[in-house]
Amino acid sequence: MNKILAVGSLAFDTISTPSGKADKVLGGSLNYFSLSASFFTGLDLVGVVGEDFPKDHFETLKKRGIDISGVKTMPGKTFHWTGEYGKDLNEAITLSTQLNVFEHFNPQLPDSYRDTDYLFLGNIAPELQICVLEQVKKPKLIALDSMNFWITGKRAELAEVLKRVDLLTINEGEAKLLAEESNVIVAAEKILSMGPKAIVIKRGEYGAFLFFENQIFSAPAVPIRKVVDPTGAGDTFAGGLVGHLAAKGVGLDWQSLKEGVLIGSVMASFTVEDFSFNRLVELDRSRIDQRLESLKNTMKI
């Protein structure tokens, strides 16, 4: 089995949406990504948590075939993000960011992780992503997620990371911000010239665009009656996409990328139906396959 090495954050989130509020629930890019990808392949995680992080959650991850030996527990409190969503559920408003032990995160890979074939660099500071890249040997696929905070605050460092990755997943607003373009197609073309070989631009309820080798694939979103909380949907999407590629043992292959984007859309559609990653924990593969088949049927003419 091809395992994925994922590096990112394990966190607490306090979230307000039009559907309600969740106080200090589990979140972070690693949780959403790994729980999503674990339906397709195994994972190795590298991250840091504080002494307040619930130990029983580690057992949940282990039961899903996720190796947490690269996650360190440090004296202090776990990263805690507080945010809210208004009527526009595609954009979160950050109210506070308490980095806590994450402020001194220095990702050091266990020797057994360095030979990984699949690497996912979660939404962390670009200099930390570079630190990880310098420790791995020769991955078959390097996938990257980023956000507007790093695009505006660490553009030069992010540019260095982009030169070294194969696949970038970001949302439409971030793509336009990164490319400094107002048209999403032009933005994608400009970002591809920065280094990534493929880019997926997530568009929330409008689906996603995949750009690879002068080809464009427009994937629909799964119709959802009620979006409760979109937090983590992007990482869940990436987990489904990269998990699918790892399960097939492929790199950047057009057909596999298209399939992976649809799977990513399906996985994200479950996440948004509840706060935190509650839906991912209670899911089984049959319901994933059923929703994927339903999505494919919407594409048939």
Which tens digit of pLDDT belongs to each residue from 200-211? 999 988 899 999
- Give the containing element (helix H, strand E) for 50: strand 43-50
Q: How high is the pLDDT of residue 146? A: 86
Q: How high is the pLDDT of residue 123? A: 87
Mean pLDDT value across residues 93-107: 92
Percent of the chain scored above 90 by pLDDT? 89
How would you class 76 by CB atoms within 10 Å of its CB: exposed for 0-12, middle for 13-18, buried for 19 or more?
middle
- pLDDT, tens digit, 9 for 90 and up, residues 217-252: 999 999 999 999 999 999 999 999 999 999 999 999
Question: How far apart are alpha carbons 8 and 222 in whole angstroms?
Answer: 27
Q: How high is the pLDDT of residue 76? A: 97
Six token digits for residue 78: 């776990």
Closest Cα partner for 13 from 240, 202, 230? 230
237 or 149, which is more confident: 237
Domains within the chain, CATH numbers bracketed:
4-298 (3.40.1190.20)
Mean pLDDT value across residues 130-152: 92
Question: Average model confidence (pLDDT) for the chain?
Answer: 94
Q: Edge-to-edge strands of the sheet including 198-202?
A: 66-74, 43-50, 4-7, 118-121, 141-145, 167-171, 198-202, 208-212, 215-219
How confident is residue 88, by pLDDT bands cut at 50, 70 and 90?
confident
3-state SS assignment for residue 132: helix
- pLDDT, tens digit, 9 for 90 and up, residues 152-176: 888 999 999 999 999 999 999 999 9
How confident is residue 135, by pLDDT bands cut at 50, 70 and 90?
very high
Question: How far apart are alpha carbons 26 and 299 in whole angstroms?
Answer: 35
